[in-house]
């Protein structure tokens, strides 16, 4: 069942500006809007967006699992494309509240400066995500919260459902998860991941995934 509700205007308003942002955090927000939110619940739309922008696929197995999910395997570049193979059988991620599974994928995305960006489809949980090698974590979070706090439709509810932290070599890694839903069953989970310092595979990430309906 397709969910019908309006997402925060701030998140959708930056679609046309994704390539013209001045900061990595703003560019990440624009990329999220253009590649993920514009194709909400439609992973094949995100896949087509990547193809239309001629993004290079990530094939290194270790890097692929960081962005596409634990256990995900990069596609065989020699294998023929099979449009009927969109549904994956990738293993589920612990605690996932979603039922949708998609064929995992990850692409590198050119950015406004020397630091890298990635777009991915996390197969086991059906999430679309964007990742920045370096982007100010406070700016990423504040811009997201600014939009999430002002939904465009009064029937939309925004609720924080989880917040976790862990210690890494690059400082504290913070994960915040918000449920944005309408009156119909289900909704979408938005995840914000930020690390205190750059140096790892990513410093900031925005992700969205459909929630299972009862």
Task: Count how many domains the chain has.
Answer: 1
pLDDT on residue 151: 53
Read off the pLDDT of residues 16-46 as tens digits, 9 standing for 90 and up. 344 444 789 999 999 999 999 899 889 999 9
Average pLDDT over residues 93-118: 75
pLDDT on residue 3: 41
How many whole angstroms separate alpha carbon 109 and alpha carbon 126?
Answer: 20
**Contact (CB, 8 A) for 102 and 129:** no
pLDDT on residue 88: 35
Range of the domain at 196: 9-70+90-210
Tell whether 85 is covered by a domain.
no
Tell whether 75 is covered by a domain.
no
Read off the pLDDT of residues 173-193 as tens digits, 9 standing for 90 and up. 999 999 888 766 678 899 999
Tell whether 79 is covered by a domain.
no
Average pLDDT over residues 107-131: 90
User: Helix 24-31 to helix 137-148 angle, to the nearest 10 degrees?
Assistant: 40
Q: How much helix, strand and coil, in percent to the nearest 5, is found in the chain?
A: 25, 25, 45
pLDDT on residue 159: 86
pLDDT on residue 71: 73
């Amino acid at each position: 069942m397709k969910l019908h509700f309006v997402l925060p205007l701030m998140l959708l308003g930056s679609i046309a500006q994704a390539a013209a942002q001045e900061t990595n955090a703003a560019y990440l927000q624009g990329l999220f809007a253009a590649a993920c939110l514009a194709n909400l619940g439609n992973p094949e739309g995100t896949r087509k967006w990547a193809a239309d922008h001629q993004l290079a696929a990530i094939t290194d197995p270790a890097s692929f699992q960081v962005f596409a999910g634990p256990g995900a395997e990069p596609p065989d570049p020699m294998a023929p494309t099979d449009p009927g193979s969109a549904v994956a059988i990738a293993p589920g991620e612990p605690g996932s509240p979603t039922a949708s599974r998609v064929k995992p994928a990850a692409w590198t995305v050119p950015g406004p400066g020397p630091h890298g960006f990635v777009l991915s489809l996390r197969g086991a949980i059906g999430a679309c995500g964007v990742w920045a090698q370096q982007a100010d974590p406070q700016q990423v979070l504040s811009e997201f919260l600014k939009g999430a706090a002002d939904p465009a439709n009064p029937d939309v509810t925004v609720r924080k459902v989880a917040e976790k932290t862990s210690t890494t070599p690059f400082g504290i890694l913070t994960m915040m998860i918000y449920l944005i839903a309408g009156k119909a069953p289900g909704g979408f989970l938005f995840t914000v991941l930020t690390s205190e310092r750059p140096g790892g595979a990513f410093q900031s990430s925005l992700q969205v995934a459909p929630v299972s309906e009862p």
